[in-house]
Amino acid sequence: MKTRAAVAFQAGQPLSIETVELEGPRAGEVLVEIKATGICHTDYYTLSGADPEGIFPAILGHEGAGVVVDVGPGVSTLKKGDHVIPLYTPECRQCKFCLSRKTNLCQLIRGTQGKGLMPDGTSRFSLDGKPIFHYMGTSTFSNYTVAPEISLAKIRPDAPFDKVCYIGCGVTTGIGAVIFTAKVEAGANVAVFGLGGIGLNVIQGAKMVGADKIIGIDINPARQEMARRFGMTHFINPQEVDNVVDAIVQLTDGGADYSFECIGNTQVMRQALECTHKGWGQSIIIGVAEAGAEISTRPFQLVTGRQWKGSAFGGARGRTDVPKIVDWYMENKINIDDLITHTLPLERINEGFDLMKRGESIRAVVQY
């Protein structure tokens, strides 16, 4: 079949709207009509050329929601008409990682996914007879996409696509990092570095679990209003204080119990670790840093009890947890609507990237 898609032909170049060829689903695969997709900073990261796994031409996008149109041989858990959210972190429930119960990082198809291919080592997308690579196993910047069955969470049919698509990455990453990765307890003091599409969801998660002080740190003062609406109690603009770490330590009587880096800046990652409390502070890295970047701190910071952790997709097990997060939204337990600041047609997807780069959007959503 043919489908409209935004194609990334080259790093650093705007996406190009094309009509591409899409082959039907093979064994274990599912054809999905994507109804809406968010634009995450990670899409920009890969498009910029900073991603060591970035390959071109590719169809980016990993924050979508849609409807099953067709299933390939052997698919047993999904059928035509089911509503789904594609998962860049699949959940096969049979690999060593899934069975460990210690991580959400299912590895069954990670090798081919990172090479922009379906699990059988080929691509379903092409243009003028030449293959186009998939991205993160999802490629939601295409109106129709093919994904492995294990990379799709079935969700309730009454959830609006243009809102719950955000659960495909930002919402789950932010709230999940608080409840699944850090397991923040009521009364804890939390510091959140970067108040964009991810950081605001960390704030929302921290408020949900009953955190005490929720300190937001961002160089964009315009982020303050929205962050307060989601539960931030204190704001620090790093450009207005001598030392961010000292400012947080003073506010929290010795340091934050938990901190979250939601930017992808290795200098800030160091600050995020060092602002946590001696003896037990935990700092969770969510931000994705460019190829070659490295983090550093004095080992003494860890010797004296601070811990560095990372979180991918908020530690959520997609097929199990994503449908529950959709329920939370439908039951008004979480707010997604206010974070979706812009909705655009596919033809204007590059404007969505520009809004994010200028710090004017929280989430721009493409509606097909």
Residues in contact with ligand NAD by CB under 6 A are 40-42, 45, 169-170, 173, 193-199, 217-220, 223, 238, 262-265, 268, 286-288, 311-313, 356, 359
| Helix (H) / strand (E) containing 211 | none
Residue among 249 and 268 whose Cβ is closer to ligand NAD:
268
Residue 341 contact among Zn ion, ligand AHE, ligand NAD, none, beta carbon within 5 to 8 Å by kind: none
Residue 61 contact among ligand NAD, Zn ion, ligand AHE, none, beta carbon within 5 to 8 Å by kind: none
Which whole-number Å values give the CA distances from 130 to 12, 55, 57, in the listed order?
21, 14, 10
Residue 53 contact among ligand NAD, ligand AHE, Zn ion, none, beta carbon within 5 to 8 Å by kind: ligand AHE
Nearest residue to 251 (alpha-carbon basis) of 263, 243, 262, 261: 243
* Tokens matching residue 61: 């996008």
How many residues bind to ligand AHE according to rule CB under 6 A?
Answer: 12
Residue 265 contact among ligand NAD, ligand AHE, Zn ion, none, beta carbon within 5 to 8 Å by kind: ligand NAD
Residue 95 contact among ligand AHE, Zn ion, ligand NAD, none, beta carbon within 5 to 8 Å by kind: none
Residue among 32 and 39 whose Cβ is closer to ligand AHE:
39
Taking each helix axis from N to C end, the angle separating 349-357 and 41-48, rounded to the nearest 10 degrees, works out to: 100
Residue among 170 and 323 whose Cβ is closer to ligand NAD:
170
Residue among 169 and 192 whose Cβ is closer to Zn ion:
169
Give the residue numbers marked as catalytic. Answer: 40-42, 62-63, 92, 95, 98, 106, 110, 169, 363
For the chain, helix, strand, coil in percent to 5 are: 30, 25, 45
Q: Is 189 near ligand AHE (CB under 6 A)?
A: no
Q: Min. distance of Cβ 309 from ligand AHE in angstroms?
A: 14
Nearest residue to 64 (alpha-carbon basis) of 37, 35, 41, 89: 37
DSSP conformation class of 263: S
Q: H helices within the chain, ranges in order?
A: 41-48, 96-100, 110-114, 161-164, 170-176, 199-208, 223-229, 244-251, 266-274, 299-303, 318-330, 349-357
Which string of x and - marks every residue 86-125 that binds ligand AHE (by CB under 6 A)?
A: ---x---------------x----x---------------
Residue among 49 and 238 whose Cβ is closer to ligand NAD:
238
CA distance linking residue 26 with residue 148, whole number of Å: 9
* Tokens matching residue 6: 């935004």
Neighbours of 345 (CB within 10 A): 11
Is the distance from CB of 153 to CB of 322 less than 8 angstroms?
yes
Q: Min. distance of Cβ 321 from ligand AHE in angstroms?
A: 14
Q: Could you list the residues that contact ligand AHE (CB under 6 A)?
A: 40, 42, 51-53, 89, 105, 110, 169, 288, 312-313
